[in-house]
Structure 1
Amino acid sequence: MIKVLHLNTWYGKGGAANSTRELNKLLNQNGNISSKVVVGFNNSDESLLKLNRNYERYLNAAITKYTGYDSIWYPFSKSKSLEKLIDKYDVIHLHNIHGYYFQLKYLELLKDKPVVWTIRDFWPITGGCAFFNDCNKWVTGCGKCPYLNAYPATKIDRTAFHFEQKQRYINQLKNVEFVTISDWAKSVVRKSMIGHKNITTIYNGLDVDAYKIHYVKDQGSKTKLLFIASKLSSPRKGLLVFLKSLQEIKNKSHYELFFIGEKMPKDLKDTYLRDFDFKELGYVSNTDKLSKIYSECNLFVNLSTAETFGRTNIEAMLSGTHVLTYDIPIMKEILQDKGIYVQEKSSKEIAKAIESFHIDQHEKKLKYTSQALREHALTFSQQKMVKAYERIYSKLLNNSGGK
């Protein structure tokens, strides 16, 4: 029996947290692996191991914001408790270790352990940010950061120091395999300070049976557009671009809009949505309910400029819904020829693509059926993902002379 310990900021809250939760559950069903998750902070699941008290998150976030020492120094050390915990497990599986709970020096505790590190964003290779936008300083070393307000935000630029510290501690890991969740992300990481390490691509696996084509698409009435972002205010999710593109649409009465995630400010709704029928559905955590929303809508509009996988695209297609997104490498890798692609941040082109979709759907000229979209998405199964991780666990244990 291989004992695996996962570390992530949260459990079941956000993309990385959901993927960690699902992987943990599947590994425990395997029979050959005993899997446990330790989280930075507890979001009400008492079965989880918790590294920090919830109030420490706010304290540590304030330290990051006002001193710039993100993950370098926090007032309450967890080294002793973490060391005792780590000793009980054969393999340590890191997911997101940023999020104001994990100090880089804790990696010293793992230097002789088999370590899998799934890179779910680019925080491990930069001097600070999780997504680097159009900046390439992370290739050679950060400093004079143009995006200090990007998560994890800070007022003091210590990105050059952070870059050196990450390199120092990560290079102490003797038996580590980095996992990216797309080939595009792997190509990015290859250019970074850890590019010489072992790096494998394992696509996120979804519970494909949990998403279904619940409804036959209504092609004769309004076209229903769906936009999703847990933080609609995040610039990289593209809400403002979407809202501006809606203004370019001539016959606004032909469309109904659905938004999942945090509520929009009233001024945005008053400015951009006054001529549309729209519904804000809030956060949706129930998979069956989410799949029904996808399935009811005709087109999922995903205008994210920075993803390492794009889970929502697969969820939409499993539910039989077309995806409109940017013509960028990560989206084309995952969606292939099943996506509807537009030029990045072009409001006019987005509007034109939406209008063309409305016409093609009404005239039954869409290239792919709902079932064809689902067939493509079925290739991202949890079974493939779990088997790939099992092989890596076994390889690392063999490297260390373990089980």
Structure 2
Amino acid sequence: MKYGKMKVVQINTFPYKATGSIMMNIHNKLLEEQYDSYVVWGRGRAAQNEHEIAILDEFGVKLHGIYTRITDKTGFASKKVTRELINKLQQIEPDIIHLHNIHGYYLNIELLFNYIRNNNIKVVWTLHDCWAFTGHCAYFDMVGCEKWKTGCHDCEQKKTYPSSLIKDNSYWNWKKKRSLFTNLNITLVTPCKWLKNIVKQSFLKEYPVEVIYNGIDLNTFHPKKTDFEEKYNLQGKYVILGVASEWTERKGLKDFLKLEEMLDRIKYKIVLVGLTQKQIKELPDSIVGIERTQNVQELVGIYTRANVFFNPTYEDNFPTTNLEAIACGTPVITYNTGGSPETISEKTGVIFEKGDLKSVFQWILSNNSFVVDGKLVADGKDEMILKYLQLYNAISEETNHEAS
């Protein structure tokens, strides 16, 4: 499938982690399909070839972070590196700019969007969270806030990412984003139907929104036995697994601690992956705490050995950890939060209301033999990439039609 030499530039905070992996997977397929593809990031490794642009400025990122802590105006520093990026974009002359996460203390959104507006560039923007249409936060579910619909102010999550320790400029941010991000040629992509519905209630509602579920690599995530059971003396135990890239309050760590108190410690064992050393030290001895692993095969072995994957997230977009567990043959318990329920079916898991640990506990006791077919996972990485390529092609055809 060849769509010609269309020039696509993707921009994200990192070239790795969840959103970075999505960007790089799309990029590699674009190159394979003979697109003129480029990827840009602001934090992480150096560029390795002419199709990678790393606008690394470690000192600038720190200054941007400090600026945010004081002023609550994240996205309005980093002017020098953003001007350098714009110079490179002017040389490339992209047909499409595909934005991923543009927060992360590395970009000036005012300069970038003025460049996009002045050059009438078509944009695909994958919203991996809600930051694009709020005055501060990336998520608002936990606190039940709806100020983002009409104009943020008096932010009750000022100290959450991107944290401000002094000022509250949430209303200024909201108005500024509304001015910068609207009346452009943008197609939005959300990884779940839940976020699409939220977007349609925001100031971004004028734009078309496509739902493209995040996919995982099914060649990597499939049942695989490792020495994990022996390493942690889990023989004969019913293992309840939790995995997160960062165990913040919204990920539900406290719920695991409450669940542990309800379980028979002889029969059941909770295993948590992705903890900091400090968090591990604070866990009760009855819970196995493991730091974030960079070894994907090790993680696959952990998923495979687990009897159930519990994701007690209180606010989320579309957690691919659920998909990874299912692909490894492990059922999922999750809360009715964000797009998390969209990752599972009645054949792959169960959904409970937030904090309903009594139902979680009862399900575990009565479903000890529940095993899923890993092939039931919804979309793999290849399906996700194909949908993005089809979207680029549709935008290109629309452009050609307008030109004619």
| Structure 2 Cα separation of the partners of residues 184 and 114 of structure 1 | 25
Question: Conserved in 1, the CA contact under 8 Å of 2:308 and 2:332?
Answer: yes
Change (3 A) 1:43 1:32: closer
Partner of 2:37: 35
Q: CA deviation at 1:16?
A: 1.4
| Structure 1 Cα separation of the partners of residues 189 and 128 of structure 2 | 9
Residues 181-260 of structure 1 mapped to structure 2, 5 A cutoff: 181-215=191-225, 221-232=236-247, 234-249=248-263, 251-260=264-273
Q: CA deviation at 1:26?
A: 2.4
Partner of 2:326: 317
Deviation string, structure 1 residues 241-282 (Cα, Å, up to 9, x no partner): 211221122x1111223221132536x755x523x2x43332
| Structure 1 Cα separation of the partners of residues 9 and 177 of structure 2 | 22
Instruction: Read off the aligned partner of 1:35 and give its amino acid letter.
Output: S
Deviation string, structure 1 residues 285-322 (Cα, Å, up to 9, x no partner): 33322211111111111111222111000011111111
Is 1:110 matched with 2:116?
yes
| Structure 1 Cα separation of the partners of residues 274 and 190 of structure 2 | 26
Q: CA deviation at 1:147?
A: 0.7
Partner of 2:307: 298
Q: CA deviation at 1:391?
A: 2.2
Is 1:96 matched with 2:101?
yes
Question: Conserved in 2, the CA contact under 8 Å of 1:225 and 1:257?
Answer: yes
Partner of 1:61: 65
Question: Conserved in 2, the CA contact under 8 Å of 1:230 and 1:261?
Answer: yes
Is 1:165 matched with 2:165?
no
The percentage of counterpart residues that share the same residue type is 26
Is 1:22 matched with 2:25?
yes
Change (3 A) 1:50 1:399: same
Instruction: Read off the aligned partner of 1:2 and give its amino acid letter.
Output: M
Q: Secondary structure at the match of 1:98?
A: coil
| Structure 2 Cα separation of the partners of residues 395 and 387 of structure 1 | 12
Q: Secondary structure at the match of 2:288?
A: strand
Q: Secondary structure at the match of 2:219?
A: helix
Q: Secondary structure at the match of 1:56?
A: helix
Q: CA deviation at 1:72?
A: 1.9
| Structure 2 Cα separation of the partners of residues 148 and 182 of structure 1 | 26
Q: Secondary structure at the match of 2:98?
A: strand
Is 1:123 matched with 2:131?
yes
Q: CA deviation at 1:20?
A: 1.7
Question: Conserved in 2, the CA contact under 8 Å of 1:130 and 1:151?
Answer: yes
Question: Conserved in 2, the CA contact under 8 Å of 1:342 and 1:349?
Answer: yes
Is 1:78 matched with 2:87?
no
Partner of 1:141: 151
| Structure 2 Cα separation of the partners of residues 326 and 269 of structure 1 | 27
Superposed CA RMSD: 2.4
Deviation string, structure 1 residues 11-65 (Cα, Å, up to 9, x no partner): 112x212222222222222x23232211012335644411231222111011001
1:331 to 337, 340, 351: 340
Q: CA deviation at 1:347?
A: 3.5
Q: CA deviation at 1:86?
A: 4.6
Residues 362-401 of structure 1 mapped to structure 2, 5 A cutoff: 366=370, 369-371=371-373, 374-377=374-377, 379-401=378-400
| Structure 1 Cα separation of the partners of residues 30 and 214 of structure 2 | 14
Q: Secondary structure at the match of 2:339?
A: helix
Question: Conserved in 2, the CA contact under 8 Å of 1:10 and 1:39?
Answer: yes
Partner of 1:280: 289
Deviation string, structure 1 residues 63-103 (Cα, Å, up to 9, x no partner): 00111121123463522442432541221100000001111
| Structure 2 Cα separation of the partners of residues 81 and 10 of structure 1 | 15
| Structure 1 Cα separation of the partners of residues 65 and 330 of structure 2 | 38
| Structure 1 Cα separation of the partners of residues 133 and 220 of structure 2 | 34
Change (3 A) 1:304 1:44: farther
Instruction: Read off the aligned partner of 2:62 and give its amino acid letter.
Output: Y
Question: Conserved in 2, the CA contact under 8 Å of 1:248 and 1:347?
Answer: no
Question: Conserved in 1, the CA contact under 8 Å of 2:240 and 2:309?
Answer: yes
Is 1:349 matched with 2:349?
no
Q: CA deviation at 1:146?
A: 1.0
> Structure 2 stretches of 5 or more lacking a match?
none
Q: TM-score, normalised by structure 2?
A: 0.88
Aligned residue pairs, count: 383
| Structure having greater relative contact order (Cα 8 Å, sep ≥ 6) | 1
